[in-house]
Every structure is written in C-alpha cells, then in structure tokens.
C-alpha cells in the first residue's frame, strides 16, 4: 500500500471537515449580528426607560400631618407641594434652607440681597394659594439630603407630627426615600412622591444633554447612598426584629402572661 496515497486521502477528508466547521462559525456569527442589530435598534428605548426607573419611585400617599418640599432649587418641588396642600392632604408645608455658599456669603456681606431656594419656594407656595401661616420653615441650613431630613425630623418631633408626604423631583425620589428610611425610621409614617412639574423626562432622558447629566449624577449619588446607608438600615431592622422577638419571648415566659392566657382560654 502506498503511504503517500493514504496520507493524501486523509488530508482530503480533513480539509472539508475543517472548512465546514469554519463556515458554521461564520454562519452563527452572522445570525448573531442580524439578531443583535434590530434588538439594539428597537430595544434600547425600553432599556433606557428601565434605567430611569432605577432612580425614580412614586409611592401612594394619604392625608398626613405635613407636606415636605425638599430643597434643590427647582420651583417644581414647591409647586407639587402646593398641589397636594390644595387637595387638603395636609395642613402645613415644610420648606428647608440650603447651605450658604462662600460666594453667596461674600455678596451678602457686601449688602447684596439674594433670594435663596427657600425664598423661591415660599414665593411659589404663596402664589399657588398656601397661606403664609401654613408654611413652616426650617432655619438651620442643610448641605445634603440626610442632614436636611434630620432637620425636618427635629421639627416634627417639636410639633408632634408623625406622618409626612415628601415631595421632590422625580430623579431624586429613590435616594430621598432611602435617606428618609434611614433618618426617620419606623417612628414616622411617610411617603415619597415625585412632583409632576419639572424633573427628568423619564421617557426620553437620553436625548438631552441636561437630562443625561442629571441621571448620571443622581445614579452616582444613589450608589454611594446604597453602600453608606443600606447596611445601616439593614442592621437596624435586624436589631429591631431581634429585640421585638426577645421582648415577645420574655412576655410569653412571664407568669402574668401565662395567667392572662389561661384566663382568656378558659373564659
């Protein structure tokens, strides 16, 4: 038997198999490209709209002790608070004060009067029908959402208010809810709602540079809050759950609880 002819026949049989595998890989790659192009073209909008829902939350609310218009400089927040007040969902509207920036302090020292965010909020509330005596202002300035809600909590404790409707821009709602859960805790009943005036265009936010910038900044802050506040909220909830379980166990083990249970079971 000629070895050269055997090797030649073996090579002829291997080459078509390798070419077939290579051709199959190209077909798979082509099918993938043909699949991913329409999915990308038609599916990016739902994906980006879902991204907007990461920072936006809107909770149901009911009549409460007060409405809070969180600071931020946007008149739409005060506008949304005025809408809720006019629907008689609360008797008071709380506004807070921003931290004065160094350049603003220099201008004030020179006698130049500036209207801060709180001043604009009060003007909007008055213009939309909220009486001046129903607007409650927090005097101590705050430089972030957590410190702002802490000031609000102190005010509510002084006035014995335990239920709040917190109004803010839609892109700020999820982070505001996280901060409220952290600061207010289970002692307060609250809901966070987005003002319908202004904020992020959740349907087409990726089309405008301003909305893209707003989303990216807020997403970054939300991630930071998640790593900073999230573990603390979880630890507090676990501790409270264990404390409640311990108290209930002690209550069931006490003689008074036993006799009360026996009396109730035999009556």
Give pLDDT tens digits for 32-57: 565 566 655 556 788 889 999 999 99
Query: Looking at the domain assignment, is residue 29 inside a domain?
Result: no
pTM of the model: 0.75
Which residue range(s) make up the domain with 104? 66-239
- Mean pLDDT of all residues in 112-128: 89
Domain total in the chain: 1
Q: How far apart are CA 114 and CA 102, in angstroms?
A: 13
Query: Looking at the domain assignment, is residue 32 inside a domain?
Result: no
Q: Is 4 a residue whose pLDDT tops 70?
A: no
Query: Looking at the domain assignment, is residue 177 inside a domain?
Result: yes
CATH code, domain carrying 233: 3.40.50
Residue 117: what pLDDT?
84
pLDDT band at 3 (very low <50, low <70, confident <90, very high): low
pLDDT band at 8 (very low <50, low <70, confident <90, very high): low
Nearest by Cα to 144 from 114, 170, 106, 183 = 183
Q: How far apart are CA 103 and CA 105, in angstroms?
A: 5
- Mean pLDDT of all residues in 143-168: 95
Query: Looking at the domain assignment, is residue 41 inside a domain?
Result: no
Asked if residue 148 lies in contact with residue 175, where contact means CB atoms within 8 angstroms, the answer is no
Query: Looking at the domain assignment, is residue 86 inside a domain?
Result: yes
Nearest by Cα to 212 from 200, 230, 196, 223 = 200
- Mean pLDDT of all residues in 180-202: 94
Asked if residue 84 lies in contact with residue 69, where contact means CB atoms within 8 angstroms, the answer is no
Query: Looking at the domain assignment, is residue 105 inside a domain?
Result: yes
Average pLDDT, the chain: 82
According to the per-residue pLDDT averaged within each range, which of 27-31, 34-38, 103-107, 141-145 is highest? 141-145
Asked if residue 118 lies in contact with residue 98, where contact means CB atoms within 8 angstroms, the answer is yes
Query: Looking at the domain assignment, is residue 175 inside a domain?
Result: yes
**DSSP-based three-state secondary structure for 63:** coil
Query: Looking at the domain assignment, is residue 30 inside a domain?
Result: no
34: its two tokens: 């043909």
- Mean pLDDT of all residues in 140-149: 91
Q: How far apart are CA 10 and CA 4, in angstroms?
A: 10
Q: How far apart are CA 131 and CA 127, in angstroms?
A: 9
């Amino acid at each position: 038997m000629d070895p050269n002819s055997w090797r030649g026949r073996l090579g002829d049989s291997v080459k078509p198999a390798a070419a077939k595998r290579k051709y199959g890989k190209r077909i798979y790659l082509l099918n993938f490209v043909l699949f991913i192009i329409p999915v990308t073209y038609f599916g990016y909008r739902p994906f980006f709209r879902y991204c907007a829902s990461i920072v936006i939350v809107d909770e149901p609310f009911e009549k409460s002790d007060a409405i809070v218009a969180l600071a931020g400089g946007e008149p739409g927040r005060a506008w949304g608070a005025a809408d809720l007040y006019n629907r008689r969902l609360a008797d008071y509207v709380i506004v807070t004060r921003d931290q004065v920036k160094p350049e603003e302090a220099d201008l004030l020292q020179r006698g130049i009067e500036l209207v801060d965010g709180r001043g604009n909020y009060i003007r909007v509330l008055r213009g939309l029908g909220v009486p001046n005596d129903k607007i409650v202002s927090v005097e101590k300035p705050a430089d972030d959402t957590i410190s702002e809600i802490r000031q609000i909590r102190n005010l509510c404790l002084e006035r014995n208010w335990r239920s709040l409707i917190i109004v803010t821009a839609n892109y700020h709602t999820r982070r505001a809810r996280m901060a409220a859960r952290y600061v207010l805790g289970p002692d307060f009943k609250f809901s966070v709602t987005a003002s319908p005036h202004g904020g992020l265009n959740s349907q087409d936010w990726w089309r405008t540079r301003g909305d893209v910038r707003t989303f990216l900044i807020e997403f970054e802050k939300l991630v930071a809050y998640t790593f900073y506040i999230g573990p603390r909220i979880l630890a507090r909830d676990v501790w409270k759950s264990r404390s409640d379980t311990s108290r209930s166990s002690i209550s069931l083990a006490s003689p008074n609880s036993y006799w009360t249970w026996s009396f109730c079971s035999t009556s």
